[in-house]
A and B are shown apart, each in its own frame.
Chain A
Amino acid sequence: MKPVIGIIANPVSARDIRRVVANAASLQIADRANIVLRVLAALAACGIEQVLMMPDRGGIAGHVMRGIERSRNQGEHRFPSIFYLDMPVTGTVDDTHRAARLLRKAGVAAIVVLGGDGTHRAVVSQCTTIPITGISTGTNNAFPEHREPTVTGLATGLAVMERVPRGTAFAPNKMISVTVGDRTDIALVDAAFVTDGYAGARAVWRIHTLRELFVAFADPEVIGLAAIAGLIEPVSRRTSGGLMVRFAPPQEAPMVLGAPIAPGLIEAVGIDDWRRMPAGVAFAPTLGSGSVALDGERELSFSQRDEVAVVLTDNAFLTVDVAAVMKFSAIHGLMRQTHDRYTESLT
């Protein structure tokens, strides 16, 4: 029985207020569907025959099915068979949660995620046991790596078909958990404590509201709040632990840093202090009341009455290491075909 791949493509991402306050773009539905088709073709090329997809009413499913049908009408066999998860569609993040749970139960070999940090986070919050591959189509994409989706699809296919040793194919990822009273939520990249005590339009762009930041990894090449950490002290995705940063008003802070906190938006941030964040240790924020933004979106509000704790966990979930897989496949000739196979593919 060949491995089955799950795909979750979010139609709703990248339409938030950052499109107005920054230069965030919105990837059109047709373009997202196109990315799905690229991934599907790549998976098929690796021998994947079945894909389980999250249904949506935002238009992605429609475009994808039309694309597959057109191809079939032309006699091509470029795509695997698509099955949609049997679930209601609400057009909210609940769909992503439900789809992730269902894919976990279905035992898929990997989940390909299209979306921003929020979507990836939503998937991991429901499923840490199945490796995921991220494709960025959201506003803030610090978590998923940026590359041509066809290659991401190819690497995923090669990884699940066990053409590459597991240790090379899959990489461990860190995760941050935030607990407010009895509510717990996670972040894949960063947890920021801000003074705004309400979720509202969710995105964080008013720098003066930032008080503390906890990041799972600090990459100087990303945008978003994690960029602040990345530009102070890089911490790779594969090292243990992360970074914690405390802020102060720029006029008073010992260091002022210009950081790309949103697409096209470079803001001056006052840095009071920072240090490495060890894994497995619970930290309490100094901010008495406000809210926590997880991967750039305000999620949990808290007040003095609440007990708040932040913990970083190493090896929380796996991702397909696309770079490693493709390098391995080049060195070991995984994409080379026999003449017979080539001839077969022509008929």
Chain B
Amino acid sequence: MPSNPFPLAKSQLLQAYRTMRTIREFEERVHVEFAKGDIPGFVHLYAGEEACATGIMMHLTDIDRIASTHRGHGHCIAKGVDVHGMMAEIYGKEAGSCRGKGGSMHIADLSKGMMGANGILGAGAPLICGAGLAAKFRGDGGVGLTFFGDGASNQGTVLESMNLAAIWNLPVIFVVENNGYAESTSVDYATAVDSYVDRASGFGLPGVTVDGTDFFAVYEAAGEMIRRAREGGGPSLLECKMIRFFGHFEGDAQTYKAKGENEHNRATRDCLKMFAQRVTEGGVVAAAELAVIDREVASMIDDAVSTAKGAPLPIAGDLLTDVYVSY
């Protein structure tokens, strides 16, 4: 029986893989379906970034809150939002997580502490300060995490929230998903300081940079920062350097990337492949076990898509419902 050198039990390693694989399959499939023209509106895919959402969310429970970005499918899945509901929502069906009223950019499930994907960049930061404030008042040790990209890092809401979190010692973590591109603009152009950690220091919070494609690096750093926040150690900033395989939105010709950049990334910086290699080489998990998960996930996503396609649309009356609790 080989010993397990990892900080997670085998069952947790398998769960991590399943979560990442679910995100990958979901996104790859949405990519395909969107290209067919079946999905209305905009979608922004998280493929390539799975290790970040998964490595972080494995430390959270339903009492912890997250606020996501426009690129929110990965955060939703990692936080435990129902995949079938998500797919139906993307198709605008009544069975969707938001009853077809929100769409890809606004998927939420407050019962799971998922305060919504958000079409407004940086808007989650103040909201998560609020979640942290509520957790402090309740005294339940809950934490809040706000995810935003390298581009959104420059929104005033994010900067104000860092200061607010620091002065009130809120149990929140600012997660910068630095994939190098804000739509088509490089982070080298758009952000004056060369490290988001320097910015965090400037606002009075400690910051840590990790390789966002390394599940274990994310898992360990996030675990420490979340534990610290829960115990009253206050806010911090986690910068995850990562890669998005697809464009900013589906339909993006990605001409701002270098030739062969996507192919090179898929070949050399695929966080799923790297995770699989580490755990199989470590002798803890057999490749066959991962293959089983691959098949199960593929089948589940397939089912989610066909169910979503066959599900009923909202009725006309739904247009007017749920504006208020009561009016």
A24 / chain B contacts, CB cutoff of 8 Å: 206
How far apart are A30's CB and chain B's nearest CB, in angstroms? 8
Q: Provided the pairs A196-B7, A200-B7 are in contact, do residues A11 and B194 lie with their beta carbons within 8 angstroms?
A: yes
A28 touches B201 (CB 8 A): yes
A65 contacts the other chain (Cβ, under 8 Å)?
A: no
How far apart are A131's CB and chain B's nearest CB, in angstroms? 29
Q: Which of A17, A28, A199, A289 contacts B224 (CB 8 A)?
A: A17
B29 contacts the other chain (Cβ, under 8 Å)?
A: no
B265 / chain A contacts, CB cutoff of 8 Å: none
A196 / chain B contacts, CB cutoff of 8 Å: 5, 7
A290 to B278 Cα, complex, angstroms? 14
A316 contacts the other chain (Cβ, under 8 Å)?
A: no
B7 / chain A contacts, CB cutoff of 8 Å: 196, 198, 200
B interface residue numbers (CB < 8 A to A): 2-7, 188, 193-195, 197-198, 201, 206-210, 216-217, 219-221, 224-225, 228, 233, 236, 239, 241, 278, 282-283
A16 to B198 Cα, complex, angstroms? 12
A-B contact count (CB 8 A): 92
B233 / chain A contacts, CB cutoff of 8 Å: 20
A72 contacts the other chain (Cβ, under 8 Å)?
A: no
A202 to B239 Cα, complex, angstroms? 16
A interface residue numbers (CB < 8 A to B): 11-12, 15-17, 19-21, 24-26, 28-29, 57-60, 91, 196-202, 289-291, 301, 303
CB nearest neighbor in A for B199: A28
A201 touches B220 (CB 8 A): yes
Q: Provided the pairs A15-B207, A197-B282, A291-B5 are in contact, do residues A58 and B194 lie with their beta carbons within 8 angstroms?
A: yes
A91 to B195 Cα, complex, angstroms? 12
A26 to B283 Cα, complex, angstroms? 37
B208 touches A28 (CB 8 A): no
CB nearest neighbor in B for A60: B194
12 additional A-B pairs beyond A15-B197, A198-B216, A200-B221, beta carbons within 8 Å, are: A15-B239, A16-B209, A19-B206, A20-B225, A26-B207, A28-B193, A28-B198, A57-B188, A197-B5, A198-B282, A201-B221, A303-B2
B195 touches A200 (CB 8 A): no
B5 touches A17 (CB 8 A): no
B201 touches A26 (CB 8 A): yes
Cβ-closest 10 pairs across A and B = A197-B5, A59-B194, A200-B220, A201-B220, A15-B209, A19-B206, A201-B221, A200-B216, A29-B194, A15-B197
A58 to B241 Cα, complex, angstroms? 13
Pairs across A and B, CB under 8 Å, 17 listed: A15-B207, A16-B208, A17-B224, A17-B225, A20-B206, A21-B228, A24-B206, A26-B207, A29-B193, A57-B188, A58-B194, A58-B195, A196-B5, A200-B217, A201-B208, A303-B2, A303-B283
A202 to B2 Cα, complex, angstroms? 23
A19 touches B216 (CB 8 A): no
A291 to B221 Cα, complex, angstroms? 18
